[in-house]
Amino acid sequence: MEYFVAWWNLENLFDLSTAPERPEWLQKKLARELVGWNAAVLDAKLDRLAAVIRRLNDDAGPDLLGVCEVENRRVLEKLLARLDLPGREYAIVHSDTRDQRGIDVAFIYDARLFRKPRRSHVFNHVVLKRNATRDIVQVNFKTRGSDSRDLVAIGNHWPSKLGSPLGSEPYRMMAAETLSYWLERIPARYGREVPIVVLGDFNDEPFNRSITDYALGMKDSSKVRSKRASRPLLLNLMWEMQEDGVGTHYYDDWAMLDQIMVNRALLRNEAGLQLVPGSCGIFREAELLKRGKPRRFGRPSKKLDREGCSDHLPIFVRVRKT
């Protein structure tokens, strides 16, 4: 049994501009951004996203999908209604935060393959930058079946480089430190090592200090596999692709902002789940690109392209039950 695990930054998946559930502080914050963001525009955005998600995993759709830049659960439910894939029973884990732009991290999972996580198995942390901005969400999943396995998924959306890459770097380091703390805490909770997959839009690249020095994302799998490692190291699966000159986001040049990292348990097959070697990739279909770059959907208050999807490309990996 294999599980197709993916990540995608959905780029500003906002609810309607007139959404009654939006807090007043957020309505004021988004007032200019959401000019013209009506039902027809939202429907077009959802249709484009759903069309791509359905094509993942050889047109079978993902088994587990982490997403970010979603405003609330309601827009995710509208997205799920459009997926309509045979044999799928998608459900949502959404962490509602007070991010200053109202964009959250969430997971979409197939309830036929994974049990519904208990509330006590979902954790989130918001990085503070005077105001709440971006978040980390951990969900402790269990596969279904008599031979159930644990799989911890941690979705990340770290503070952006907007304004100053160096000036904002400490906030991404803070997020990375939080992630590393969680990775140390997880085995203590379970009493053993469990498979962990870390996904996200980190707004840094695999070689940046926040990833290498603080999140401990490594290029060398032997270091991560080693039982002698005293710290919770991760294997960053995007290193090889990055060296090929590709990326998941384009601004002046390609950048590998979206990444998947795995822990020792997934590499050594010590808990019934194992990384499928060579299975990590970037979904780079033509429909997602325009002039060789991610084709943004945008919004009416700026440049709207109804044939676009997102300014990020989806990434994926396969995990095998053993």
Burial 58-96 (b: 16+ CB within 10 A, else e): eeebbbbbbbbbbbbbebbebbbeebebeebebebbbbe
Give the pLDDT score at 69: 94
**Under CATH, domain 2-321 is a member of which superfamily?**
Endonuclease/exonuclease/phosphatase (3.60.10.10)
* pLDDT for 74 beyond 70: yes
The pLDDT tens digits for 113-167 are 999 998 878 887 766 554 445 689 999 999 999 899 999 999 999 988 876 777 7
For 207-211, 225-229, 269-273, which range has the lowest pLDDT when averaged over its residues?
Answer: 225-229
Residues 60/4, Cβ–Cβ less than 8 Å: yes
3-state SS class at 311: coil
Give the pLDDT score at 162: 73
For 1-5, 168-172, 218-222, 280-284, which range has the lowest pLDDT when averaged over its residues?
Answer: 168-172
For the chain, the first-to-last Cα distance in angstroms comes to 8
The pLDDT tens digits for 6-46 are 999 999 999 887 777 777 767 777 888 888 989 999 999 99
Give the pLDDT score at 131: 47
The string of DSSP codes covering 25-39 is HHHHHHTTTTTT--H
At residue 214, what is the residue type? Y
Predicted model pTM: 0.93
CA distances to 53, 64, 259, 283, 318 from 280, rounded to whole Å, are 16, 14, 10, 10, 7
At residue 269, what is the residue type? N
